[in-house]
Amino acid sequence: MEKLLQVEKLETVFTKDKQKIKVLHGVNFYIRRGEVLGLVGESGSGKSITSLSIMKLFKGTSGEISNGKIQFNNEDLATKSEAEMRKIRGKQMAMIFQEPMTSLNPVMKIGEQLLEPIRLHLGFKEKQAKDHAITILKKVGIPRAEEIMNEFPHQLSGGMRQRIMIAMAISCSPQLLIADEPTTALDVTIQAQILDLMKQLKQEENMSVLMITHDLGVVAEMCDRVVVMYAGKVVEEADVFELFESPKHPYTKGLIGSVPKLGQKKDKLDSIKGNVPDPSSLPKGCKFAPRCDVAMPICFVDEPQEIRLENNRACSCWLYNEERRDTCV
């Protein structure tokens, strides 16, 4: 399938106390048309910053892209101005944010917020825009759509607000939908409904989806391929079935091993020791080495480069660079 989005050597920095701190370190991945790509990792691994970099949503922050390309429809978004990006956001690519209550304007009615992108990107007049908005609300399973157009976000439940966010995101039929932890704040039954809705919309609209999550259950259910991030870098990429069947990177193995299993008879759950390092004080060599149970001397000296494995898999680990590992250990 044709690649819709290709991120190449992406580096993003934030300025703190006049010092530039790099938070993304040469991130590489791609999304095909009609594909769901999972982006996984612990909090602080760089998942959300990657999504904000793709959308160039740095207004009000010190963040900026310092290097790399973001090829979308054969255009490099990294070189686009803010005015050019405003024409792309909402129409060609859209985003569902992690917490709908902070993403929706609390003092604006739902209808006003939903109509804004429809008028802006589709050029519809008042009646046509309103009819389109009501159709989209019904499509995402909102009951009494006409009444809810006149209500405020605080009058709706968490699940309903998330459906409103999805409706706003798909209102202009984007080619790429970025979903940043879309089910985190919802209870289990509502989570299942939202995931079913997203699967249905993806099939109907043939959208590509970047699913950002730390929930491996969501990944197993939704994704075609998976990219694993750690400390601002991609450490593994694989087909979803291969990743769960045979994870390669020690970090990926740790993530999968930390998932509770039915019938598990242990006093405590497995976990990965330590924490994701602070971007301003990253360790030398492999960033995961201080937490890795199979780390070798070279892991604390040199950072591993990406190695292509069978079935077009990729992994950044010295375990898979035998020639260099044997000469350096």
The DSSP result for 216-263, as a single string, is HHHHHHH-SEEEEEETTEEEEEEEHHHHHHS--SHHHHHHHHTS--TT
CA–CA distance, 21 with 295 (Å, rounded to integer): 26
60-69, 86-95, 176-185: range with lowest mean pLDDT: 176-185
86-96 residue pLDDT tens: 999 999 999 99
Q: Per-residue pLDDT for 327 more than 50?
A: no
Q: Which residue has the higher pLDDT, 187 or 20?
A: 20
Contact 99, 183 (CB under 8 A): no
β-sheet bridge partners, residue 11: 25, 67
174 CB neighbour count, 10 Å cutoff? 22
Q: Helix 126-139 and helix 110-122: axis angle, to 10°? A: 110
Report which of 328, 239, 231 is spatially closest to residue 318, judged by C-alpha positions: 328
Nearest-Å Rg of the Cα atoms of the chain is 21
Please give the model's pTM, rounded to 2 decimal places. Answer: 0.91
| Architecture of the domain defined by 3-92+174-260 | 3-Layer(aba) Sandwich (3.40)
38-52, 209-223, 261-275, 289-303: range with lowest mean pLDDT: 261-275
Residue 260: the pLDDT is 74
Average pLDDT rounded to a whole number, residues 233-239: 97
Domain limits of the chain? 3-92+174-260, 104-173
